Amino acid sequence: SQKIEQNSEALNIQEGKTATLTCNYTNYSPAYLQWYRQDPGRGPVFLLLIRENEKEKRKERLKVTFDTTLKQSLFHITASQPADSATYLCALEVTGGGNKLTFGTGTQLKVEL
Amino acid sequence: GAVVSQHPSRVICKSGTSVKIECRSLDFQATTMFWYRQFPKQSLMLMATSNEGSKATYEQGVEKDKFLINHASLTLSTLTVTSAHPEDSSFYICSAPPGTSAGETQYFGPGTRLLVL
């Protein structure tokens, strides 16, 4: 069956450290993988998109890697801040999917002082 | 960035009544919009794809007669939950890509919290 799994446990890290979140998928061949941030009671906000032929993408303190052999994406936040505390969702889009996104389970990140 | 709004943000209704939720793209046109449902501590589950000028496409297991979708214009899609029951209580979120190409980012509305008593 198809699955998109993210760290089920909340991730607590200290301010200034790098947070690394994982997204693993099975029985998908995504053309694109996206990461979103969601705050409680709000809609998701787009962060980064990476294509199947790209290994890595960066934007300011954010970095995403995409390994289609391992079927895994890693999402890194460097120099983390308490304001980065939120739930982070990965989402897959397959070729011919008509922009439909399938979301992972989400990982809650808490950055502590 | 592009903005998507939803109305209302919260609604409480009695069991058996119908509730309409609006999703608007404020500064771009969207031929396609998506409707999701999110239960507490869970991820977003796609319910249906709303297509301007044609019928919505529903995901497996979603009752099209219960969740009526109308994509009235290039900036407005509505979701009507008919004969709502307590198990329909959830957080409903819409999204829209600003274009039709593959690999578009999506802009999400702020969500509508529905509570059915």
Nearest to B108 by CA among A31, A86, A39: A39
Give the pLDDT mean for B46-61: 94
Write down the pLDDT at residue B41: 86
> Could you tell me which chain A residue has the CA closest to the CA of B106?
A46
**Cβ contacts of A105 on chain B, cutoff 8 Å:** 42-43
pLDDT of amino acid A54: 95
Please name the residue of chain A whose CA is at the shortest distance from the CA of residue B109. Answer: A43
Question: Do residues B25 and B81 lie in contact, with contact meaning Cβ atoms separated by under 8 Å?
Answer: no
The verdict on A103 touching B (C-beta cutoff 8 Å) is yes
Q: Is A59 on the interface with B (CB under 8 A)?
A: no
Report the pLDDT averaged over residues A57-82: 97
- Interchain contact A94–B (C-beta under 8 A): no
Are B98 and B28 within 8 A, CB to CB? yes
> What's the confidence (pLDDT) of residue B99?
81
Radius of gyration of the CA atoms of chain B, in A: 13
What's the pLDDT tens digit per position in B81-111? Answer: 999 999 999 999 999 998 877 778 899 999 9
> Phi/psi at A28 (nearest 5 deg)?
-130, 150
pLDDT at A103: 95
The beta-carbon neighbor of A101 closest among B100, B106, B113 is B106
Mean pLDDT over each residue of chain B, to the nearest integer:
94
Distance from CA of A16 to the nearest CA of B (A): 27
Percentage of chain B exceeding pLDDT 90 = 86
Beta carbons of A34 and B105 less than 8 Å apart: yes
Across the interface, whether the CB atoms of B32 and A99 are under 8 A apart is answered yes
Question: What is the reported pLDDT for B2?
Answer: 80
> What whole-number distance in Å separates Cα of residue A106 and Cα of residue B56?
27
Rounded to an integer, what distance in angstroms lies between the CA atom of residue A107 and that of residue A112?
A: 16
Answer for the pair A36, A89: CB distance below 8 angstroms, yes or no. yes
Confidence of residue A97 (pLDDT cuts 50, 70, 90): confident
Q: Which residue of B has its CA nearest to A107?
A: B43
The answer to whether B49 contacts A41, with C-beta atoms less than 8 Å apart, is: no
Of A61, A88, A71, A111, residue with least CA distance to A6: A88
Per-residue pLDDT of A23-56, as tens digits, reads 999 998 889 999 999 999 999 999 999 999 999 9
**B1-10 pLDDT tens trace:** 689 999 999 9
Integer-rounded Cα Rg, in Å, for chain A is: 14
Q: Which residue has the tokens 């998701």?
A: A44
